[in-house]
Structure 1
Amino acid sequence: MTRFDPRDILPDALVERIRHRAPSVDARNVFPEEDLAELREAGYLSVLVPADRGGAGLGLAEACVLQQRLAEAAPATALAVNMHLVWTGVAKMMRDRGLDELRFVQEGAAAGEVFAFGISEAGNDLVLFGSDTVAEPLAGGAYAFTGTKIFTSLAPVWTQLGLHGLDTASPDGPKLVYAFVPRDERVVTRDDWDTLGMRGTQSRTTELHGVVAPADRVVRRVPPGPNPDPIVFGIFSTFELLLASVYTGIARRALDLAVAAAEGRRSKKTGKPLSQDPDIRWHIADMALAYDALPPQLASLAHDVDAQADHGSRWFSLLSGVKHRATGTAKRIVDDAMLVAGGSSYFASNELSRLYRDVLAGAFHPSDPESAHATVAAAWLGPLEQ
């Protein structure tokens, strides 16, 4: 078997160009159009698409490695592309299990289409298990969607929006409807992405005013609430693992910058590099000990998804757990990296300052800390008594 080398898809020169552009993208609060163009040209949008449909034919485990590498260069670019990769990952996972409703996602990604993720809604802590968006059934199996989605990454550039809404009108309802809609005049994208960090994702608010998903783009109708439908597991598994990969990449970059700072700074007291200071060495070691645990966890769980391993009821706690650990660990590592680097890291022009702002977003992605703890507690202690 040929060993996977992420540099075959993300060569060093491309990574460095993306890294070079990241400060300007953040400072100007714009979408990284040049990054997307180069990634599309490199076939990055179709890495999870099977070879027989025009893609690279990689598995989720390899995509996680690629996302770590991309996030080391530009976290916001990686997080934005993540949402496209989620849908291609769901399509792959379902096809691997004999379900081909998302063939159009695979073929579209291979042709250069950009798929965005329209699930999050303000105040909807049910996330995948409920929706405030109205899914109105139309003749022939189509649906019209009306509602507001938040944190819609890739907002300026997506061509298809994967979303869900609640159908309460059909005789067999209520049903959560998963579908894809095109960008047209019934979609309003607010220019409201003025955030502390992850500015290049341009995850703007999206208003849906009766936008129609044709019948052949309505992929699943499932009961609201927790359920074992493959699309629910597919979204949750790919979302959590790819998201954790982005923050693991941030952690690695912060650790590398801390090492470089320790080797480059000298103590006035001793005349030696700070890399020889016992306290600094302890900080670096503590950061490395924490970081080293993340890539193997991601690799193991992503491989299990690819191999269709059976973790039964443990799956959701394992997936939410690795996301929680990755985002929390990345934040602690960035905090320590800034201490090692010293006061210069407090300036906005310093890369660690940008990583410090970017890494804060990790707590707001599903599963948030409260949800992760509730999921893991239920896995070990059983559900709360009613």
Structure 2
Amino acid sequence: MTFLLSEDLLAGIRDRAADYDRDNAFFAEDLADLQAAGYLAAMVPTALGGSGSTLGETVRDQARLAAHAPATALAVNMHQVWVGVGRYLHERGDSSLDWLLEEAAAGEVFGFGYSEPGNDLVLLGSRTEARPDGAGGFTFHGRKIFTSNSPAWTRLGVLGLEPGGKGGEGRLVHAFVTRSGGGFDILDDWDTIGMRASQSRTTVLDGAHAPADRVMRLLAPGPSLDPYVLGIFTSFEVLLSAVYAGIADRALELAVDAARRRTSMKTGRAYAQEPDVRRRIAAMALTQDSTWLQLDAITRELDDPSADRGAGWFRATAGLKVRVTEAARDVVDQAIRVSGGATYFSGSELGRLYRDVLAGSFHPSSEDSAHATVAQSLLGPLED
């Protein structure tokens, strides 16, 4: 497996992570280094100017990045999701996002403007209004939350709902707006307990314009098997899972280091020789072994354009996200139990991982949503 991120690059990123977290600052230096390394074009096919990395290779690199700086990895993830969607479509004979792949290779940074307050439909509906401009384009009016890369994105993927005509509901509009085009306001409201460097601020859309050639899909609200939707859902869930798998990998490393370093006054032995500690660390490792078996299997299948689960992809990847993020929380918690009270201090790396890993619960798909998806796959839809 080929990695784009060198150990030296990752070491520099880790050195800055605590400062970004303490200062609630955007990861500007990290982003510059990652761009210079060509990482933002990792999954762009070589014919379109990128490195041609597979999803599986990028998942591994994202996990390595998260093990060094979770908030940086999470924010970069939102760009990588869009590149992943473009790659997903391109490999299946759909060139509608080839322009995005080319722009990513040229240095544009993509943001993900889909999440909205109180919208548990996510890809199936929107509170944002998409108003036709009369020439095939749309202007967008609404509030988006958790917009990672807020200080740096140059292209923002957005979702809105077209006003309905007589007796009907409008279509969902998937499109892209540009930073230079204006029509939006980014609020300085990102002051969270974790993932602070991502600066995932609220974006208020008030006329942001997507011309006709940047309107990617017009779809009926509700479930869809359109490849664009499948590409978004699968790329988002798998790459997000990679970030939290990387956090757990690092927590396990720190627990092993602590067990070797700490000594019991009761026995005079290193904690690494204590049966309870050994069992706890072994349980963490077994969890991570399972996590990576799942991630590798699903990404390997997604990397094969001939593999087609259809609607089954929603169950597979939503379930993956929930299992991986919940497992990561447990691994970090167990690492803290091994490492002791020093992790309670604000300067502790493991303490920061504990705050960062909590964010996994807030990303779609939620645990409730994943259970509903699986139930529907087994029992059919709820009856009216």
TM-score, normalised relative to structure 2: 0.97
Map Cα deviations across residues 338-357 of structure 1 (whole Å, 9 max, x no partner).
Answer: 01000111111010100000
Match of 1:253 in 2: 250
Q: What CA distance in whole angstroms lies between the structure 1 residues aligned with 2:65 and 2:271?
A: 29
8 Å contact kept, 1:136–1:169: no
SS of 1:282's equivalent in the other structure is helix
User: Aligned match of 1:310 in 305, 308, 311?
Assistant: 308
8 Å contact kept, 2:225–2:311: no
Q: What CA distance in whole angstroms lies between the structure 2 residues aligned with 1:265 and 1:200?
A: 31
Q: What CA distance in whole angstroms lies between the structure 2 residues aligned with 1:30 and 1:139?
A: 41
Q: Which sits farther off after the overlay, 166-175 or 59-68?
A: 166-175
8 Å contact kept, 2:74–2:240: yes
Amino acid at match of 1:310: D
8 Å contact kept, 1:71–1:250: yes
Map Cα deviations across residues 332-379 of structure 1 (whole Å, 9 max, x no partner).
Answer: 000010010001111110101000000000000000111011111222
How many aligned residue pairs are there?
A: 381
User: Aligned match of 1:378 in 372, 376, 379?
Assistant: 376
Match of 1:152 in 2: 147
Q: Which sits farther off after the overlay, 184-193 or 203-212?
A: 184-193
Residue 216 of structure 1: how far off its partner (Å): 1.1
Q: What CA distance in whole angstroms lies between the structure 2 residues aligned with 1:242 and 1:313?
A: 19
Structural mapping, 1:53-64, within 5 Å: 53-64=48-59
Alignment pair present for 1:178 and 2:174: yes
Match of 1:362 in 2: 360
Match of 1:208 in 2: 205
Match of 1:161 in 2: 156
Q: What CA distance in whole angstroms lies between the structure 1 residues aligned with 2:373 and 2:2?
A: 35
8 Å contact kept, 1:323–1:367: yes
Residue 248 of structure 1: how far off its partner (Å): 0.2
SS of 2:57's equivalent in the other structure is helix
Amino acid at match of 1:19: R
RMSD: 1.2
Structural mapping, 1:60-79, within 5 Å: 60-79=55-74
Amino acid at match of 2:270: P
Structural mapping, 1:52-131, within 5 Å: 52-131=47-126
Match of 1:43 in 2: 38
8 Å contact kept, 1:137–1:169: no
Residue 173 of structure 1: how far off its partner (Å): 5.7
Amino acid at match of 1:91: G
TM-score, normalised relative to structure 1: 0.97
Q: What CA distance in whole angstroms lies between the structure 2 residues aligned with 1:170 and 1:107?
A: 36
8 Å contact kept, 1:137–1:170: no
Q: Which runs of 5+ in 1 are unaligned?
A: none
Amino acid at match of 1:163: V
SS of 1:139's equivalent in the other structure is coil
Residue 168 of structure 1: how far off its partner (Å): 2.1
Match of 1:298 in 2: 295
Residue 98 of structure 1: how far off its partner (Å): 1.3
8 Å contact kept, 2:225–2:310: no
SS of 1:293's equivalent in the other structure is helix
Amino acid at match of 1:320: A
Alignment pair present for 1:227 and 2:224: yes
SS of 2:135's equivalent in the other structure is helix
Match of 2:341 in 1: 343
